[in-house]
Amino acid sequence: MDSFLDIQRQRADSESKFIDCNGFRVHYKLYGSGKPPYVVLLHGSFLSMRSWYDVTKPLSEGATVLIFDRPAFGLTSRSLPKRNNEVRYSPEAQSDLVVALMDKLGFDRAVLVGNSTGGTLALLTAMRHPKRVQGLVLVGAMIYSGYANSEVPSFVKPFMKAMRPVFSRLMKLLIAKLYDKNTRGFWHVKSRLSDETLAAFRNDFMVGDWSRGFWELFLETHRLHFDKRVPSVATPSLVVTGEHDLTVKTEESFRLAKELPGAELLVIPDCAHLPQEEQPAAFAAGVKQFVEKLA
């Protein structure tokens, strides 16, 4: 079996870059002038940086745009946590990784654009590192449900850790069986997701021993209590929702826009959980306008 390093080399394209950061070998791409404003795009679970491909070019007109594969996804290494390394998959560790990447790439402050669980991490990063986040764009962000509101009970975690190989194999079988149906559910008009693109997303996710990395991420999921914390966030924010989002219901995004101080709300018609995929022109225009106002 090829090592993950071999897989990275084989699958990387001409724009791919890799950097060692917080125990991971992170796969990333940069677009734009190399100058501020800096924009960092955080994709959702089960996807990859591919989710942003249709909007990176317009967003990088007058800005520098960073996309990267989050830990457990894409071509970023599926490193496993050990006592003698810094690899961690908790939400806090992932938010710290965002800032560590910014440090390595010379970004003093950035606008974080997060979709789904990427939105969870974007908001958490603004809470943990407020001076580094110039603005937030929260796109179908999981703030009151799903990833941000789930938790592995502490009393069963030692057993689940001890049985890692068994549980990760079971999860692998379940996800492999449901992946296509689950991913199509992110689209309002299913035909807009071609079989080729779906296969590419699946190929991005199911890399190497992918279930072990995803199992580590699952184990570290815990309640973030955003319902109590959101009103204290002072970062300028834009909340974006697809008109027909069923993954994170539009009502949740409306609530977020209401509870997040001074937040703007953008509802994009004729799309669901991934407006950057279904309506890239409208999405890019809304985000560009927000970034330009901040700049």
The number of C-alpha atoms within 13 Å of 113 and in the hemisphere containing its C-beta is 28
How many angstroms separate the most distant Cα atoms in the chain?
A: 52
Integer-rounded Cα Rg, in Å, for the chain is 18
DSSP labels, 268-283: ESS--S-HHHHSHHHH
Tokens standing for 224? 């973030």
Q: How many domains does the chain have?
A: 1
pLDDT at position 2 is 63
User: Hey, what amino acid is at 276?
Assistant: Q
Distance from C-alpha of 145 to C-alpha of 63, rounded to nearest angstrom: 32
The CATH number given to whatever domain includes residue 173 is 3.40.50.1820
User: Hey, what amino acid is at 54?
Assistant: D
| Local confidence pLDDT in tens for the 295 residues of the chain | 468 999 999 999 999 999 999 999 999 999 998 999 999 999 999 999 999 999 999 999 999 999 999 999 999 999 989 989 999 999 999 999 999 999 999 999 999 999 999 999 999 999 999 999 999 999 999 999 999 999 888 888 888 888 888 888 999 999 999 999 999 999 999 999 999 999 999 999 999 889 989 999 999 999 999 999 999 999 999 999 999 999 999 999 999 999 999 999 999 999 999 999 999 999 999 999 999 999 8
Q: What is the span of the domain harbouring residue 13?
A: 4-294
Tokens standing for 293? 């106002």
CB atoms within 10 A of CB 254: 14
Name the H helices within 50-152: 56-59, 91-105, 117-128
C-alpha separations of 142 from 44, 82, 240 in Å = 10, 29, 12
Bin 288: left if φ > 0, else alpha if -120 < ψ < 50, else beta: alpha
Q: Quick one: 206 exposed, middle or buried, by C-beta within 10 A (0-12, 13-18, 19+)? A: middle
Distance from C-alpha of 76 to C-alpha of 25, rounded to nearest angstrom: 6
Using an 8 Å Cβ cutoff, are 108 and 84 in contact? no
pLDDT at position 233 is 97
Provide the edge-to-edge strand list for the sheet that holds 17-21. Answer: 17-21, 24-32, 64-68, 38-42, 110-115, 133-139, 237-242, 264-268
Q: Residue 264: helix, strand or coil by DSSP? A: strand
Q: Residue 44: helix, strand or coil by DSSP? A: coil
Using an 8 Å Cβ cutoff, are 43 and 49 in contact? yes
Using an 8 Å Cβ cutoff, are 42 and 70 in contact? yes
Bin 71: left if φ > 0, else alpha if -120 < ψ < 50, else beta: beta
Distance from C-alpha of 252 to C-alpha of 264, rounded to nearest angstrom: 14
pLDDT at position 1 is 46
